[in-house]
Structure 1
Amino acid sequence: MPPRHVLLAVLVAVTWGLNFPAIHLSLQQFPPFLLVALRFAVIAVPTLLLVPRPRVAWRWLLGYGAGFGVLQFVFLYLAMDTGMPTGLASLVLQSSAPFTVLLAAVLLRERLTVRQGLGVAIAVVGLGGIAVHRAGLDGGAALVPVVLTLCGGLGWAFGNLCNRQAQADSPFRLMMWMTVVPPLPMLALSLLVEGPATIAASFHGLTTPTGLAALGGLAFTVLVATVVGTGLWTWLMARHSSSVVAPFSMLVPVFGIGSSWLFLHEPTRPAELALGTLVVGGVLLGSTGRRTLAPPPSSAAERRTADPAATAPAATAPAEPA
């Protein structure tokens, strides 16, 4: 890639890494399920009014929205709300990559290469080590947020498969229309679990420092990480092979952990950093070289985009950022 495109790819990784501290700030004001509903509702309304619907089957659009939009963020936001360290969340969410490879092999009968299998195995060892390490903290209570984050990675992987099956004519429009799926079910879940009183209370004090920081975090998540970050990533994927662009998403945990330390003063234990290196290395190993889930060459570059909210270059080239 030319240097300008390299800088753009790094910029995307920076925005997606900063997305995790932004989520942390928003969770200081809003309950997690309501926050997910707000995050997607802000994009869904203009999407319905302004963006043409992509030519895809409804089942894949709904599946993409359910996996990526609902399941991923229900578990991720709940994990961060119940004590998952912000930087570590950006790392553990990389589990979406090995989950995607394994689900594709089981559900789509895609052949798993030796390289991919080795990468999955290394990533699983790293994730398992993090889980064991966290299980020894706080009487085992620290393990629950890790498990929730892994469930978020599994939801993202399910969304990846639906995105792959959709074979959209415009991946950016598919991403925008995916945001139409989560708001109503997430609002219903928030009303049921968090309750009207908690929801109403979260809108009080929005002019306080905490409230303004929460609104700023939500704006960053929606406008910068999702719209700008995804737009740039899609543009790069359309001009370069995924094997060249996708590894840049491995910088997301680096910026996620670094920004959490810088802005939130959140330390990451050396053991977790070492185990995280295994996760990143395994994901990178499995995402380079031959790809078994590549769509037809005529549209491969168009259909491959990756996620923010945390993002891993799985063998399927994840469809957009967390």
Structure 2
Amino acid sequence: MPDLSPTSRPTLHTQAFLLSALAAVFWGTNFEATRIVLAESPPWTAAALRFVVAAGAALLWLWATRGITFAVLRRNAVAFVLLGLIGVAGFNAALFLGMKTSSPVTAALIMGTSPLTTNLLEALFNRRRPAGLALAGMGISLVGVALTVGAFSGARFAPGDLLIAGGSLAWALYSIGCRRWVKGAAPLETTVWTMVFGTAALAGIAVVLENPLQVMADASPVFWLVSLHMALVGSVLAFVFWQIGIARRGPAATSILFNLVPVSALVVAAGFGRIPDWSQVLGVGVAIFGVWLASRPQRKPLVPVLATQSA
């Protein structure tokens, strides 16, 4: 059994923090990687290839660590199919199609607001008013996104930016649906089966609309290296690291690290020679502040000690 003594807990906490941060950094690299593969592949094929590899690796991970329980699949088959279409096929179709005209930094920043969008949608579904900090954070984040795309200097949102915003909404619906619709399944099982069904949809569309076999035959070594990076590092490994963080630190503390996604995308873009201007850097900072503000835990009103004792 692992050492769970008090002296070992800080070490486990630190490891979980570092792994969660790495997961966010890995996700941030996917946007520049998407730009690279789209230079050689149409969008449906690029998305399908990434998730064929990722789904296969995730399925092997599930089999090796937990075993495959078909009762879970039968019980949640409808939910897994719908969530796969929304959160895997829909989200990645929006990302790969949107990246044809959007930039990696802008795309990462829009996707970086997904936790905030999820919280607001969940409040709407539960018929409760969102917290004031959540609404303020959303407004500040939107100002940051506008700064990043140059909206205040006369530029307009590209069609790809709007597609990616739709993908962010799809991811928020996926996150809520996983909590509401799935019954008696571990997070890894939910991820694997939704990934499998979403991948099937992406692959089917790619075969109908494009020519994946020809693309793969003509692909360069760079294309394959980047595609494998997105599938194994930017998908499977990032998910596993993120889940370790949630298990050891809790979802609230871990979700704040999602702010590293646009920062990672900004650094990677700079590494490829596209140095951001001051408005983009400022926009990323403003948007991250908005998400952080909205993610702060709400203070509960203090209860007098005497009232508590008399209850």
Fold similarity call, TM over 0.5:
yes
Q: Which has the higher helix share?
A: 2
Find the aligned partners of 1:23 and 1:259 in 2 and give their Cα distance: 12
Match of 1:72 among 88, 91, 108: 91
Aligned to 1:213: 222
Secondary structure of 1:169's partner? coil
Alignment of 1:161-176 (within 5 A): 161-165=176-180, 166=182, 168-176=184-192
Contact 2:263 2:284 in 1 (8 A): no
| 1:320 paired residue number | none
Identify which of 112, 115, 125 aligns with 2:130.
112
1:286 partnered with 2:294: yes
Bigger radius of gyration, 1 or 2?
A: 2
Structure 2 partner of 1:144: 159
The CA deviation string for residues 139-163 of structure 1, in whole angstroms up to 9 with x for no partner, is x5x6212111111111111111111
Shift in Å at residue 134 of structure 1? 8.6
CA distance in structure 1 between the aligned counterparts of 2:277 and 2:183, rounded to whole angstroms = 41
Q: Which of the residues 268, 271, 296 maps onto 2:276?
A: 268
Give the share of equivalent positions with the same residue, in percent.
23
Q: Aligned pair in 2 of structure 1 residues 244, 97: CA closer, same or farther (>3 Å)?
A: closer
CA-to-aligned-CA distance 1:82-110 (integer Å, 9 cap, x gap): 23111222112123233222322333424
Cα root mean square deviation, aligned: 2.6
Question: Contact conserved, 2:17 with 2:249, CA < 8 A, in 1?
Answer: no
- CA shift at 1:25, angstroms? 2.3
Amino acid in structure 1 at the alignment position of 2:201:
P
Query: What is the TM-score normalised by the length of structure 2?
Result: 0.79
- Report the alpha carbon displacement of residue 4 of structure 1 after superposing the two structures with TM: 3.2
Q: 1:185 aligns with which of 186, 201, 208?
A: 201
Distance 1:156 1:134 in 2: 28
Q: How many residues align?
A: 279
- Partners of 1:43 and 1:73 in 2: how far apart? 13
Alpha-carbon distance in structure 1 between the residues aligned to 2:187 and 2:14: 25
| DSSP-derived class of the 1:284 partner | helix
Which of 90, 105, 118 aligns to 1:87? It is 105
Work out whether 1:14 is the aligned partner of 2:30. no
Match among 175, 178, 184 for residue 160 of structure 1 = 175
Query: How many angstroms apart in 2 are the aligned matches of 1:120 and 1:111?
Result: 14
TM-aligned CA deviation for residue 48 of structure 1? 5.8
Structure 2 residues not aligned, in runs of 5+: 1-9, 300-311
1:127 aligns to what?
Answer: 145
Distance 1:52 1:22, change over 3 A: farther
1:4 corresponds, among 15, 23, 33, to 15
> Does residue 23 of structure 2 align to residue 23 of structure 1?
no
Unaligned runs of 5+ in 1: 292-322
Does the alignment pair 1:100 with 2:118?
A: yes
